[in-house]
Amino acid sequence: MVTTPLGTRRTPLLNLLPVQGAVSWVRRGEGLVGWGEADRLEVSGPGALAEASAWWADRCARTDVTDPLGVPGSGPVVFASVAFDPAVGTSVFVVPEVVVGRRGGQTWVTTTGDAADRPVLETSGEEADTSIGQLAYADGALDPVTWCGAVARAVERIDAGELAKVVLARDLLVTADHPLDPRRLLLRLASRFPDCWTFAVDGLLGATPELLLRRTGRELSSRVLAGTAARGADAEDARLADALVHSAKDLAEHEYAVASLAQALRPFCATLDVPSSPQLLTLPNVRHLSTDVRGTQRRDSTAGLLDLVDAVHPTAAVCGTPTPAAARVIAELEGMDRGRYAGPVGWLDARGDGEFGLALRCAQLTGGDGGAQARLFAGCGIVAGSDPEAELVETKNKLAAFQAALED
């Protein structure tokens, strides 16, 4: 395996991707993309992430590496898409044959296997197909009326004291006349949501605003999102923003999410900085309450990034609180298998550095790369006082992010 510096080459990373086997993790033009498959692990069951961590450590130990850069994302890299419930669903780990990275203006390429003998970027740069024809949408597991009924039942159980918060999601099915080119979707998502992480792993692609965990050396960081409001025009937009930062319901929902992350991360940290109040994160279609949490891992902690991800997932941002009760309510009311939606997605290198977001604002392409069908997902946090119709509107606003990438 060889990492080769490419200087300040500025070809947009997503433009390099081929049709088949594309993986990505890109924000503001920097990050990692890859293609080809040098190795792959699919794992499920109790201890799935521990098994994946051991597999990755063993693979790295057996790999001869030439890496003159030694920066996060150079050398061996595995892309991962973890099931929402790793004990039940299948998590996927892919080691690409070619990885192109960009960080701080420095670009590099890492090649492995047969790809190391080919000219750099030889297989990339095909023009994305922009014609998908007509789109047909259909309800997923639950139609809107039934889903609103599920929200109402969740509120009843919250009022009864069974739990404080639960995140309920719904899915939307879309069929196109022509194959869906994942590169086209990624390019449109990255253009519309530059402050999100545009990801693709094994047919699951999206643009997530939420960073579950980043590890650089022993420094840890996370961006927690919970509490959402739609955007408006001019004065209405300002009113909606002000209402969000003063909403008791949304602030409570956000606090549950921050507390669950901090509680899970604190045993591993020598220091942990948790701001006392959230900020506003403004995206083109919605606003979120946002809190950036930062910490330093204890020197006597041997936990790797996948161990930390396993410890903090699922947070209340995608499941609820308390976690066991919320998971039970999701299983009873949501009516669908989330698969890898709302699970950790990102990358890990041989040094233990990496980034994992949560697979939100995403779709699972069916029939492999270039298939003509996709399953879109969106969810929202349900707490005391949640209104089913308002929560349905929130899911529609979130689904619109991916629908715009399909329809533009």
| Whole-number Å distance between alpha carbons of 258 and 273 | 11
Residue 51 DSSP SS3 = helix
Instruction: Return the structure tokens found at 308.
Output: 């930390």
Residue 99 has pLDDT above 70, yes or no: yes
Catalytic status, residue 398: no
- What is the CA 283 to chain-centroid distance, rounded? 16
Torsions phi, psi of 178, nearest 5? -125, 165
| Whole-number Å distance between alpha carbons of 169 and 319 | 10
Check residue 127 and give its pLDDT: 56
Percent of the chain with pLDDT over 70: 94
Residue 399 has pLDDT above 90, yes or no: yes
pTM of the shown model? 0.94
Residue 403 has pLDDT above 90, yes or no: yes
Residue 274 DSSP SS3 = coil
Torsions phi, psi of 243, nearest 5? -65, -35
Check residue 123 and give its pLDDT: 43
Alpha-carbon torsion, ordered 188, 191, 196, 200, to 10 deg: 40
Q: Residue 136: what residue type?
A: A
- What is the CA 82 to chain-centroid distance, rounded? 10
Most confident of 103-107, 126-130, 144-148, 371-375: 144-148
Q: Residue 59: what residue type?
A: R
Check residue 325 and give its pLDDT: 97
Annotated active-site residue in 97, 210, 255, 391: 210
Within 10 A of 238 (CB to CB), how many other CB atoms are there? 11
Pick from 283-287, 334-338, 348-352, 366-370: least confident:
366-370
Largest CA distance in the chain: 64
| Whole-number Å distance between alpha carbons of 342 and 363 | 11
Instruction: Return the structure tokens found at 267.
Output: 């045993």
Per-residue pLDDT of 115-157, as tens digits, reads 555 545 544 545 555 566 789 999 999 999 999 999 999 999 9
* Core vs surface per residue 17-47: b (16+ CB within 10 A) or e: bbeebbbbbbbeebbbbbbbebbebebeeee
Per-residue pLDDT of 50-72, as tens digits, reads 999 999 999 999 999 999 999 99
Pick from 1-5, 131-135, 356-360: least confident:
131-135
Contact 192, 198 (CB under 8 A): no
Confidence of residue 268 (pLDDT cuts 50, 70, 90): very high
* Core vs surface per residue 351-364: b (16+ CB within 10 A) or e: bbbbbbbbbbbbbb
Range of the domain at 240: 2-126+134-407
Check residue 122 and give its pLDDT: 45
Check residue 128 and give its pLDDT: 54
Per-residue pLDDT of 249-261, as tens digits, reads 999 999 999 999 9
For the domain that residue 393 is a member of, what is the CATH number? 3.60.120.10
Residue 33 has pLDDT above 50, yes or no: yes
| Whole-number Å distance between alpha carbons of 231 and 72 | 36
Confidence of residue 114 (pLDDT cuts 50, 70, 90): low
Please name every residue paired with 230 in a beta bridge, in sequence order, or none if there are none. 286
Residue range 358-365: mean pLDDT, rounded: 96
Annotated active-site residue in 122, 126, 165, 407: 165
Catalytic status, residue 396: no
Pick from 71-80, 82-91, 231-240: least confident:
231-240
Q: Count of domains in the chain?
A: 1
Check residue 119 and give its pLDDT: 45
Angle ∠(35,5,13) on CA atoms, nearest 5 = 40
| Whole-number Å distance between alpha carbons of 201 and 339 | 13
Check residue 369 and give its pLDDT: 55
